[in-house]
Amino acid sequence: MTKAAGEGRTEIQTKWASIDVAGSPMQCYLAKPVQEGPWPAVIVLMEIFGVNNHIRSVTERIAAEGYVAIAPNYYHRTTDNLELGYTDRDVVIGRKHKDATTRERLLVDIRAVIQFLQECKDVSPKDAMGCLGFCFGGHVAFIAAGMKEIKAVAAFYPGGVANMSPGGGEPTISHAGEIQGDLLCLFGEEDPLISHQDTVIIEQALKDAGVKHEIIRYSNTGHGFFCDQREDFDPSAAEDAWHRVKVLFSKTIVPQKVST
């Protein structure tokens, strides 16, 4: 499907793609500019609510900035796809699928997405990609950050990073030393799911590991502040965060022109 561009944005095309992961089809929402590339690639990692309208809109928004953007359904082992809203019932359903994930399987899924992108002729560079995640997807983005092709990660309100790992084991932050690219973390100071102390633990671990990072804490802001379909949506914080994401990707995964 082709979508018209807004002011200052690139016209894009969208479609669903399927990636085989050890015999399990992983549905992915793919958006990219209509114009001939190549374009840098960004992986968009969903909240617990699936590749829903919000995640698809973010994927399209990234593509309109001049990227090939892809949002994989890493719940593919327990559901073909998921289209949830933000009610209490939706939270229960989403958490059931989240609890069935493991770090090892998520790494397999991300590797499959990276290989898919590397095989796309309109993706370049092949060895420098971005990653953007929200809530549990922000946690998954921390996991993805340890892969050598991932050079820039923006993690929005990544829950659980400081104190757990999908499927059990040491907390995800204990793997901070594996992160090779730049990391941007965006938190709301009034987030009931992520304490200020959790953000301090994350920040200190990144410092100790020598990771190039930036921690942003928005005052009077709750969880899910980037999503305009949630009660905690904060337009000011969302606008600032989006600007930071664009700067991050433009500096790290967009091939820089060399003056002659």
| 128-to-134, 138, 143 alpha-carbon distances in Å | 21, 19, 16
Annotated catalytic residue within 120, 135, 185, 227: 135
Annotated catalytic residue within 191, 198, 232, 234: 191
**What is the three-class DSSP state of 214?**
strand
DSSP string, 143-161: HHTTSTTEEEEEEES-TTT
β-pairing, 12-21 vs 24-33, is antiparallel
Q: Which residue has the tokens 């700067």?
A: 247
DSSP string, 7-69: TT---EEEEEEEEEETTEEEEEEEEEESS---B-EEEEE--TT-S-HHHHHHHHHHHTTT-EE
191 an active-site residue? yes
223 an active-site residue? yes
Please answer whether residues 163 and 171 qualify as being in contact, where contact means their C-beta atoms are separated by less than 8 angstroms.
yes
Annotated catalytic residue within 175, 223, 232, 234: 223
131 an active-site residue? no
Nearest Cα residue to 60 out of 4, 139, 123: 4
Count the Cβ atoms, other than its own, within 10 Å of residue 97: 21
Mind telling me the catalytic residues?
135, 191, 223
